[in-house]
Chains A and B, each alone.
Chain A
């Protein structure tokens, strides 16, 4: 009975740790995908000087994860242009597509939405770079935190296992 209980506790602890780990991995993935999207957007805008929805459509095949969902949402909502501004469409799509981004990253994206399509190419590129900078910083921070927390959780799991083994023996 004691052994079964110990196994259950360890399994629950392990599941919790894995869940937290998956969450951290998903956040890192979302940050990485969005950063890649911003970099591609900047490069395309600089070369093609095409309209923003056209640029998003052209980078969609190379976009991953939630960034791809975000692009698809903007492209779908493009039909509302005229009734809504591109900035509104951009912000609504960001809020619905990105689930794990923090306030800092969402606010950077909204700032970019307010500039896209409205100002000169140079201003837009500067804002894309600024926004990408925020994501790069967040990605580095999330990577460091994930490594640290993974070490902690592995330590806690090992300690818990050892403690239970001692109790059981």
Chain B
């Protein structure tokens, strides 16, 4: 069953029919209580369905996504998402906050089902730039929903296939998209993947036990992540990561990334932008 079928299988029958009629390559399905089903497709285009989403529909999806076992999603729910069969489902609603942290949700008002896709096109040019004269520490940057994770997944696979021992930190199961113990995407013959564990714990396990030459991770967004990258780099291990930013100049405006760039940890940035309705990949040397 592919990711799209899995996503459609989570929906109540009326919304499933609605979503199937949208056509194109579905990237996100958004359910907001009291509003029509909304979809993002074909590289960021939006369309609404006819059916109005009820709170019951949202509960239906959550029941199916968690196999009616909220305990299995509790930790992720605190971070606002559920990982289900390789799909990532963003969750919003009335949060319960106590003891200084979010405990979960009292009720749910909207969901965003993100449907992962394989890389389309040829990443050969990016790959040869990243690998020329040894693997370069690379950061893939774009605005949300532009395909950072998809490109990272493809680079991991290709680099791993070329013989590099690659440790993959897959905190949200978005790279491997594992379901029921089986990988949704092939990440190469030399990849060792840790899923659903915070980045720091994953990195320690990989560094202690798997002797990686390269560590790949998705979504560097916090100061702790930036610190971790410095530590990994200090161990002599290369890094490929993704970050939210419009371009390399935008990165410099953000504290988290500015520190990393100033330390000269990343040699290369791959910037993803949409031009004329198509994704364009630009490689930028961050230091010589």
A contact set with B: CB distance below 8 Å: 49-54, 78, 81-83, 85-86, 116-121, 124
Contacts and interface: CB of A to CB of B under 8 A. Distances in A.
Contacts of A78: 67
A85 B68 contact: yes
B70 A118 contact: yes
Contacts of B71: 49, 117, 119-121, 124
Given A82-B12, A82-B63, A117 B68 contact: yes
B223 interface: no
B254 interface: no
Contact of B68 (A50, A86, A120): A86
Nearest to A90: B68
A53 B67 contact: yes
Contacts of B128: none
- The main secondary structure of chain A at its interface with chain B is loop
Interface size class on chain B is 10 to 19
B68 A52 contact: yes
A124 B74 CA distance: 14
A117 B69 contact: yes
Nearest to A124: B71
A117 B70 CA distance: 6
Residue from the set A82, A85, A120 with the largest chain B CB neighbour count within 10 Å: A82
Nearest to A45: B71
B67 A51 contact: yes
Interface in B154-183: 180
Nearest to B72: A51
A81 B72 contact: no
Given A49-B71, A117-B68, A117-B69, A81 B63 contact: yes
A78 B12 CA distance: 15
A67 B68 CA distance: 21
A82 B10 CA distance: 9
B270 to A, nearest CB: 36
A93 to B, nearest CB: 13
Given A51-B66, A85-B68, A118-B70, 19 more contacts: A50-B69, A50-B72, A51-B69, A51-B72, A52-B67, A52-B69, A54-B69, A54-B72, A81-B63, A81-B64, A82-B61, A82-B63, A82-B64, A86-B63, A116-B69, A117-B66, A117-B67, A119-B71, A124-B71
